[in-house]
Every structure is written in structure tokens, then in C-alpha cells.
Amino acid sequence: MGVQSASAGTAPFFKPLTRSAAVAMQPDHTHELNNPWLGPAGIMVKNLTSLHEIEADPGQSTIRVPRLGRTASMTDMSAFDPSGRYIFLPHETRYGAGLSRYDTLTDKTINLFRGDMNGAHGDWRHDYGSLDPATWTPADTLLVGEEWSGEGRIFEIMNPLADVTAGEAIVKRELNSIPNVAHEGLRFNHAGTALYFVDEDKSGAIYKFVPTIPGD
């Protein structure tokens, strides 16, 4: 309540940083890998993993697709499960996109699903493009959305914690009740009754979606 009632002129709740860490121009520079930014006093920064580390280990599955004469497995907005153990990494590749799950306890990453690459030919029936935003839902599922490629769809992963290494299949569905836009952000309100999303292309607007059936 104190935060909500704060007004202009009150003391700040934190001390803003006066500078940030230097930008390293070289890929995988030691500053980028070990000290990518400065944090306020009392905050510790720890590098858990990187795509460089994941791809260097043949035992970890990752997505690599052609892009401008090279390969890429770009990831963007990540999401956590409620326990904080797993980090979900949507792949923002032009086509053949998918979702990987990083385990903070085992320091291993596995790919949960990926498209069939036919989006390169305009066929998105079994392919996904530029999966960007992701968020955990009140129903313990995971939402991921397409941004600048694909169809601008939202998908719900029904069992994001599935043991895929033991053969358990990932179950997902497209949410047709949510408009297809250039999805950039996905977040639920605290009550879990509404979803907010952003269109980063045509309108540049923030939208609020409220399901007809609460919790559906």
C-alpha cells in the first residue's frame, strides 16, 4: 500500500545507478560473460549459462537455423516456473523456431519443441517463427508468442515441465481467441484474471484480454 500511495516528491525506494558496465565489442568477451552489468549494493550477478555454452555441449539440444548465410538460435524474453528452477527460452529464429528449457540445478538445456522449417516456404501449419515473449500462467502452463515472423500467434504449452527425455510428449495449443499481432510482451495481472500483451508492429498498443471463463 505504501508504494501505491507514494506521490511525487517522496524519497526514492532505491538509489539509481550512475553508470553501467562497459559494452564489450567482441563476442564472448570476458566482461560480457562474467560481469555484463553493474548492480546496486547487495545484488549479486551470476552468469548461469549462454548459448555459446549450450551449443558447445553436444549433449544439450538447441535450435540452429540458417540466417543471412550463417546459423542462429537466438533467444529473447525468458520465463520462469514458480519454483524458479527452470528458465524457458523461446527461440526468435525466422522459421523453425521452438522452445528450450534450462535447468538451473543441473546446468543443462533441452529443447521442448521446434517447427518443421516449412515456414521458409510460407507453410506455417507445423512451423513457428520468431517466438519471443513467454510467461507462466496461473494454470501452470506456459504462453509463448510470435513477433516479427510467423503468423503472430500465441501458443499455450500445456505441460512445460514434461520429462521429454523420458519420451513424454509436449502438448500445445494455439489460442485463437487472442488476436494475431507482433507479440512482444505477455503478462498476467496479480489475480490471474487478465492477460496483457503488446503489439510491436501496427498499433504499438498494449491490450488487455479477459477470458469469458475465468482461468480458461
> Which CATH number describes the domain made up of 64-209?
2.120.10.30
74 vs 36: CA distance, rounded Å: 18
**Which residues does 164 contact at the CB level (< 8 Å), separation at least 6?**
110, 112, 170
Binned at pLDDT 50, 70 and 90, residue 68 comes out as: low
Instruction: Spell 107-137 as b/e; 16+ CB within 10 A means b.
Output: ebbbbbbbbebebeeeebeebbbbbbbbbbb
Least confident of 49-63, 74-88, 180-194: 49-63
Dihedral pair phi/psi, residue 165, rounded to 5°: -70, -20
For the segment 55-67, the average pLDDT, to the nearest whole number, is 82
Identify the pLDDT of residue 139.
93
Binned at pLDDT 50, 70 and 90, residue 6 comes out as: very low
Residue 189: count of CB within 10 angstroms of its CB: 12
Write down the mean pLDDT value for the chain: 86
pTM for the predicted model, two decimal places: 0.83
Dihedral pair phi/psi, residue 26, rounded to 5°: -85, 135
On the question of pLDDT at 4 being above 60, the answer is no
60 vs 72: CA distance, rounded Å: 16
Identify the pLDDT of residue 204.
85
Q: Three-state DSSP class for 18?
A: coil
